[in-house]
Each structure stands twice: as C-alpha cells, then as structure tokens.
Structure 1
Amino acid sequence: MVQYISADKAGLLSTVLEALLYGFSVLMFIATLWILVRGRPWSQVNHRMFVIACLLFALSTIHLGVDINRLVSGFIRFRDITPGGPPAWFANPSDPSFVFKSIVYGFQTALGDGVVIYRCYMVWNSIWVIIFPIILWFGVVGKSATATGGVYACTSPSTDSTGIFAQQVGKWITAFYSTTLACNLTATALLAYRLWTIDRNVRRTRVGRGVTIPILLVVVDAGALYSMTLLSALIGFALGSNGQYVVLDMVTPIISIAFYMVILRIGIAQHSPSRDNTNASTLPRVPFSRPETSGRFGKPMHVHIQVEQVTESRRSAEKGVDEVNLPMQRYQSE
C-alpha cells in the first residue's frame, strides 16, 4: 500500500497542528465560560453546557498530552531500540499510548455528537425527530462496538504488520468514521431545517432583520467544520495514506472549537447593545392619532398611541428561536 507520508512525519505534523488548534480552543473555552456565567448567579447558569465545555476541554488536553508523550517516546525514548526506528514505532497501533488516545477520541466524538442531538431535540421538542440520530449515536458508543472494537482490534495478537490499515482494524475504523459522520450530518441538517422553518414563519410579521438566520448560519458552519474534517480523515484512510493521522489528531480540538463557536456567537449577539433595538424594531407598530384642542390657543393637539401587535404564530416561532438559544438559557426542566 502506498504511503504518501511516513508515520513518524505524520505524527510530528499532526501534533504540531493539533497544538495550534488547541491554543485557539483554550481561548474560546475561556470566552465560553465567561459567556455562560456572565451576569448570572450560579443557580441560573446552564450547568449542562458548562460541564460539557469543561469535559471537552479536559479531553482535548489529555489527547494533546498523549500525543506530546508519543513524540518523546518515538523520537527519543524508543528511537534506537525499536526495529525500524521511529517510522515503525509510530505505525504500531498496538502501543498503549495509541490505544489510550483512541479511547479519548472516541469519548470526545460521542460527547460532541450528543450535544448536536440534544440541541436538535430542544429545538424540535420531539423525541421522534431524533430517533435516527440517536440510533447512529448508539452505533458510535453502544454495544455495536464501532469504536471499542477498533481499539480491541489494535491490541489483538492477530493484527498483522500492515498496521492500522490491516483488514481487521480497518473495518472498525471505517464503521466509526462513517457512523459519526452520518450522525453529525443528520442532526445538523434537522436542526438547520427547523431554524429555517422558524424564520420562514415569522418573516411575514417581522420588520427588520431577525435573529434566526444568524443562528442558523453559525450552526451550519460548526457542523460543516467538523464534518469536512472527519470526511477528510475518512478519505485519507480509504486511500491508505498516513495523512489521515494528521487530520484525525486535528479532529479532537475541532470538536471543542465547533461547540464553543455556537455558544460564543449567540452570546455575543445577546450581549450586543443593538440587540434590544433590533428586537424592538421587529415588532410592527400601528399608530393612532386623535385630535384634541388645547384650551388657550385652540390649536389641535395630536395624541399618538402606538399599539404593538404580535401574532400567536410569531410568539410560537420566537419561542422556537429561544429553544435554539439553549446554551444561554436555563430551562425549567434542568
């Protein structure tokens, strides 16, 4: 099988790129916590999103730490005692460090996909809509063993010298990539469609620019960022290139970045000074005037009364927009 880049070079390049993305994710993590807790007592903070943000940060930190340790082990510690040198050591999928980082990646992938499904459920407010994404999610983390089977196959004595591209290991990796990609795409598509229908329903009664489309765009961008990265890893694996190691290590911080960017974008929109003015301008006002006379000069005086009219469909749609804003809201069910 043709390798377009050696395993040791792929390991070094992947760790460098992962570290760069991790640096961005650290800044976004700090900003996310600030958005979640700003101006709120602890009892009103969205504890679910707070805990998930911390878990994603912890998992990405552990993954990067393992990769740095692998660089030290491959290029320094086991450089002269491993037959074939660093390229052979990095190409060995049965090494405990590779198995551990695969488990961390599996947990983070399951957590990221679960967040997208949760957002989809909160927007649709129906369990039936997310049945298929849930089935796919269980395909990633459940007893179907798409992820755990790949880790087990890496440590199996029957794994041959072709490394991670061996037939036994390959079938698990292909199943894992395909399942998590389908899960993310399905949940993101359902969420985007719901946001689009909400905006379509309020378009007739709205004056000015609404908030639904900006939320829709950031949700789609986050889903596309993760999906395209995962698709690149799947293509690299299918081509038998060690370049898939590079993309795969980049997926871990990208999962965190995609989660943070949704909360940050909505949080910035909420705390924008022009938000209240924008919302006020979206409400149609009907002026009424009634002539009155002032006793001294006898000139007519007009009294203007503005009546805000909000239809029931608009209230329902705006409620749906608030459901999208789940990272910033504290639900009664929590």
Structure 2
Amino acid sequence: MGSGIPLDAGALMSTVLEGILYGFSVLLFIGTLWSLTYKRHMQDINRPILTVAILLFILSTAHMVVNIIRAEDGLVRDRDMYPAGPAAYFADVSQQTYVIKHSFYVMQTLLADGVVIYRCYVVWQSVWIVVLPIMLWCSVAATGVIALYSVSQAGTGSGIFVKALAQWVTAFFASTIATNLLSTGLLAYRIWIIQRGVAGVRTAIGRGTVMPIVRVLIDAAILYSAALLTALILFVSGNNGQDAVVDLAMPIMSIAFYMVLIRIALNNKNRSYISTSINMPGRSASETEQERLRQYAMKPLQVHVSQFTHQDRPSTCTADFTKGAPSHCDVEST
C-alpha cells in the first residue's frame, strides 16, 4: 500500500482540498468568460479559447464529482467490503471510479499541454520550433493511455505501485513536466524577444510593457510543474500522498490556464500585438504590429522655397500678383 499518510485519510483530505481549489477555479472560469465575451460581438469572440476553457471546466467538474463519489463509496457504502477496511478500498486501483477519474486527468493534461504547444507555434510561426514539444506530447498521450489500460486490467486488490504499472506512470509524469516547461519556456522567450524588438515603437506610441504577461506565463508554468514534480517525487518514493497531489493537479491546471487568459485581457485592452498572439488569432505578432504602425504613418510634407534674384542692370518688370501669374521682366540692353 505504500508509506506515508493512510489512504483513507488521504482520500478524504484530497477531496476537501480539491473542493477548495475547484471553487477558486470556478471563480476564475467566470472571470475568463467575462474577459472573452464582455462587450464583444459574436464574431469577435475567440471561440477556440472559449471552447478550451469550457472543456477544462467540464473535465475538472467531472473529476470532482467522481472523487466525491469515490470518497463516499470507500468511507461509507463499501467500507466493509475489504477486511482491511477503507484503506484497502482506496488502494485497489481496479475500482471503476479510480479508472474514470484518472481518465479525466489524462484528458485534461493532454488538452492543457496541447494549448501551450499551440500558443508556442502561433507566436513563433514555425513548425520546427514545436517539433520536440509535439513529440513529448505524443509521449504523454502514449504513456497515459497505456497506464490507464494497465489499471483497467489490474486484478482486484492491485496497488498503484505495482512495477508493471509504476513505470508507465513515472514516464507519464516526466513527459508532461518536460512538455509544459519546454513549451512555456519557448513561448516566454519569444514574447520577450518581440518586446525588445519593438521597444522603441512601444515607447513612441505609449503602449505598456508585455513583461507582466511573460511573468504570468512563467508563474502558471511553475505552479503546474511544481504540483507534477511533487507528485512524481512522492510516487517514485512510494508515498501515498501522490494520489492526493494528482487530485489537486486537476483544478491547478484550470487555474493556471484561466489566470493567463485573465491577465492578458487586463493587460491588453486595446488588442495589442501580444494579445492577438496568445489568444490564437490568424495573424502573427509582427503582422499585427505593422498594422498598428500604419496608423502612425508620416503625412506628406509641403515645402515652400522662396527664391530671390539680384540684378545689377536696370530692368522693367511687370507682374500680375492678383491672379497668381508669373512675373515677366524685360532686361534693358546696354
């Protein structure tokens, strides 16, 4: 069964803590919907991002519901099913609720990592940049599916630390951590480079810095990666606390995604180039910047040059200034 906190106490604790974080994620989800739809026409709403936000909310809600059902089954309804009590129930990975809730976790991980990779591609506008993140994402999908299949085929009473299952779970955690850190690092670096390239223009037109967006991207990546790294360390050491941390990772993923979207909306009220890059547009950051620069194009200048002619010889000149006609001068010959 592993070491550390008893599994029944861990299941109760993880359900309570997940419920708290889930409530916070619901508030951020409402804020995300507001930032994406407030005072915007239907054609102006970023539908891909809105769809992802709704899917994250649905998956995290489903995971929360299944976790509550599992806690109720293990602590109340089926508490006497195993001779060792509720702890043995939560150690049995062959339970249907265990497979279902971890299926939601794998799907949400693939969705969140896929969004980060797509953002990275949109900002860089290069497929070659995201080749390695895509390969890591495929590794996340493969190891996650194999781990779920191994769990579904496990015998009654089998634990998560069985060697045949543990190796795939370890590979899954390592792959998703690498995918998240690499994609977010590339994304933040590109945004920083773009900011440096247009620093003078940004100062000229009075636009604020985009470094807050870089910081919130890094903060979100650190928050999510810290939870996954903790789960990986606990799992490798055979500590039962890893199951509670994995449950907490579900709302943390949603929170990290929502906080990035809300921060971008607050920092880019005028749809600057960085907001269009992060929010999955059809144009690159450089194209948007060029469009904004056209608004500040220099107007044509009119130059008037006055010419004065000095003559030493006497002359007779006639000029019609009232009609704007050129003057006519007859020079006397000597």
Shorter-chain-normalised TM-score: which range? 0.7 to 0.9
User: Residue 129 of structure 1 aligns to a residue in which SS?
Assistant: helix
User: Contact between 1:198 and 1:212, CA under 8 Å: does it hold in 2?
Assistant: no
Q: Cα distance, 1:201 vs. partner?
A: 1.8
* Unaligned segments of structure 2, at least 5 residues: 285-334
Structure 1 CA distance for aligned equivalents of residues 176 and 69 of structure 2: 27
Alpha-carbon distance in 1 for matches of 2:81, 2:175? 38
Whole-Å Cα distance in 2 between the matches of residues 11 and 325 of structure 1? 37
Name the residue aligned to 1:120. Answer: 120
Asked whether the equivalents of residues 122 and 326 of structure 1 are also in contact (C-alpha less than 8 Å), the reply is: no
Distance verdict in 2 for CA 1:69–1:2, change over 3 Å:
closer
How far the C-alpha of 1:2 sits from its partner, in A, is 5.2
Q: What is the TM-score normalised by the length of structure 1?
A: 0.80
Alignment partners' CA distance in 2, 1:160 and 1:70: 16
Q: Secondary structure at the match of 1:164?
A: coil
Give the aligned CA root-mean-square deviation in angstroms.
2.0
8 A Cα contact 1:120 1:191, kept in partner: yes
Instruction: Call closer, same or farther: CA 1:67–1:322 in 2, change over 3 Å.
Output: closer
State how far apart, in whole Å, the 2-side matches of 1:138 and 1:222 are. 22
Identical pairs, percent: 46
Partner of 1:239: 237
Aligned equivalents of 1:259, 1:323: Cα separation in 2: 16
CA distance, structure 1, for counterparts of residue 201 and residue 54 of structure 2:
40
The equivalent of 1:175 in structure 2 is 171
- Give the letter for the 1:253 counterpart: P
Contact 1:123/1:323, CA 8 A, preserved across alignment: no
Supply the AA of the counterpart residue of 1:171.
Q
Q: Aligned match of 1:230 in 228, 237, 254?
A: 228
Alignment of 1:80-229 (within 5 A): 80-141=80-141, 145-157=142-154, 163-207=159-203, 210-229=208-227
**CA deviation after TM superposition for structure 1 residue 322, in Å:** 4.2
Hey, what's the Cα distance between the residues in 2 that align with 1:120 and 1:105? 23
The residue that corresponds to 1:39 in the other structure is 39
The count of corresponding residues between Structure 1 and Structure 2 is: 282
Letter in 2 for 1:228: A
User: Alignment partner of 1:210: what SS?
Assistant: coil
Matching residue of 1:312? none
The question of whether the paired residues in 1 share the 8 Å contact of 2:93 and 2:157 is answered with no
Does the CA contact (< 8 Å) of 2:265 and 2:275 recur in 1?
no
Paired residue for 1:283?
none
Which is higher, the Rg of structure 1 or of structure 2? 2
Matches of 1:153 and 1:270 in 2, distance apart?
46
Gaps of 5+ in 1: 277-317
Deviation at 1:76, TM superposition (A): 0.7
Runs of 4+ with deviation above 2 angstroms: 159-162, 202-211, 321-325, 330-333
Equivalent position amino acid for 1:111 in 2: L
Q: 1:326 aligns with which of 266, 279, 289?
A: 279
Deviation at 1:268, TM superposition (A): 1.6
Structure-2-length-normalised TM-score: 0.80
Q: Deviations over 1:231-252 (max 9, x none)?
A: 0100010110011111100000
Query: Which residue identity is paired with 2:150?
Result: A
